[in-house]
Structure 1
Amino acid sequence: MKASLFFLAASTALAAPLESVPPVVRSEVGAFPIAELEAYYNAAYSVKPEEADALHPTISKRQYNGDTFNQLTDGTPCRKVTLIWARGTTQSGNVGEAGSEGPVFFNALASRVGASNLAVQGVDYPANIFGFLAGGDSGGSTTMANLVARAVTQCPSTKIVLSGYSQGGQLVHNAAAKLTAAQTNRISAVLIFGDPFDGQRVGNIPASKVKIICHDGDNICDGGIIITADHRNYEQDAPAAAAFVAGLVA
């Protein structure tokens, strides 16, 4: 009975603020690699209006504008950097919708390291509330650790980045704890947005390789279960996150 009451209370607490907190408008501009966006603008303004439409597909193909990416498992050749990403609770696909924390961060990083040098691999897992309440979906945590193992063997020279948002941050912690010493040594950087385990170590990965971004007022980062506006706007931190990671994988 106590367990049932806990889940009922938790579900109610999680649902209530979503109705009372006004939606946060996401910045779509941040979803484009800056250098490519600048080149697109220059080209678009230098041609006749009727010719500008032909340029749209070009910039669209170069941005991470979808909710699913499998560049480690879909046959994409090994790249200099492999970013393994775990999305947050209820987010779509395996990285979250375009304009959300993941894709905006990917594009910010691509603008620094070069799009052709970055491979993004999402973690397939349910991303539901029950996984969050359990401390991170156990199956997803294992899947993330297995993806690291695959990157280590499949791409011996790639720089591996572990990253995630919200429950995805829990998966990063859990997956890191499952890695062998040799696999841990292959992790070049860790970046977590809105981390429910803020303040805890990420496996045995050195603190110098880890950056956790938590906003003041984010109850999830404080160990709570309330979704506030401060937990829903981490895409604004993509430039700083990309700068940190780029500095470790360059």
Structure 2
Amino acid sequence: MRLARSWKQRAVAVFLTAVAGTLGAGITASPASAATCSDVDVVFARGSGEFPGLGITGTPFVNSVKQGLAGKTVSSYAVNYAADIAQTSAGAGATDMTRHVRSVAASCPNTKFVLGGYSQGGSVTDISIGIRTFLGSGETIPADLAPRVAAVVVFGNPLALFGQKITTASPLYGPKAKEFCNLGDPVCAGGFNVFAHLTYGFDGSTANGASFAVSKVRALG
């Protein structure tokens, strides 16, 4: 099991190193707006090799959530972490995600949260909601704040390489989680189709994920 895990970890790192240039090239990071007691705060962690910001998947996801929640105020926060190719920054990213949620929750008692991540950002999200991964450890969101997290949506999450899903690994967040993993995606499906990992932002996945998040937010009132 240890050998298999090491092989998969190396495979993910090698793949992400190969596509880092693709992820970073031509991307204009969307600035995250500070949460000032909005109705909903979308907290998203970008993928490895992307420039700081919401990234190629987080940007369309956040935009779709905002469109779906017309009539509500929606802020967004891009998790502040290195998103390094070496896959060593997910723990620090989880700590930043957690501290942001705790800070906003303390200042804005009525704000609900939508959490999300892409690629290594999926691992950031996993760790923040208390799921152990091979990509590190970090601070986790206190259990008493879980009811204020309306939805968790991840894309190309490496957790799937180990046969795990948020829906089954987390009693607190599983019922409110949605996970997208394209067929052939090397990062979550163990495949060899690089393109499959890069298309969540325009193949309908982010729109579908946003619709799920919107339905969960509206269910909370």
Match 2:186 to one of 201, 215, 219? 219
Greater CA drift, 143-152 or 204-213: 204-213
Distance 1:238 1:8 in 2: 28
Q: How does 1:18-167 map to 2 (within 5 A)?
A: 66-72=29-35, 77-96=36-55, 100-114=56-70, 117-131=73-87, 134=88, 137-167=90-120
CA contact under 8 A between 1:17 and 1:227: conserved in structure 2?
Answer: no
TM-score by length of 2: 0.76
Aligned-pair CA distance for 1:129: 1.2
Change (3 A) 1:146 1:238: same
How far apart are residue 90 of structure 1 and its match?
1.0
Q: CA deviation at 1:137?
A: 2.1
The change in CA–CA distance for 1:239 and 1:14 in structure 2 (over 3 A counts) is closer
Report SS of the residue matched to 2:51. Answer: coil
Match of 2:136 in 1: none
Taking the aligned partners of 2:20 and 2:108, their CA distance within structure 1 comes to 41
Structure 1, unaligned stretches of length 5 or more?
1-5, 25-64
Q: Mark the runs of 5 or more structure 2 residues left unpaired by the alignment.
A: 1-6, 131-139
**Partner Cα distance (1:85, 1:17) in 2:** 20
Residue in structure 2 matching 1:248, options 191, 216, 219: 216
TM-score (norm 1): 0.68
Q: Computing the radius of gyration over CA atoms, which structure comes out larger, 1 or 2?
A: 1
- Cα RMSD (Å): 2.9
130 and 83 in structure 1: CA distance in 2 versus 1, 3 angstrom threshold: same
Query: How far did residue 114 of structure 1 move?
Result: 2.1
Paired residues in the alignment total: 192
Tell me what 1:190 maps to.
152
Deviation sequence 1:224-249 (CA, Å, 0-9, x none): 59671100000121221111001011
Closer/same/farther in 2, CA of residues 211 and 12 from structure 1, 3 Å limit: closer
- Structure 1 residue 192, shift from structure 2 partner: 0.4
Q: Which runs of 4+ in 1 moved over 4 A?
A: 6-19, 224-227
Deviations 1:95-151 (A, max 9, x none): 12xxx21111111111110286110011110001112xx4x5221111111111112
Q: Which amino acid aligns with 1:232?
A: L
Aligned match of 1:229 in 195, 206, 212?
Answer: 195
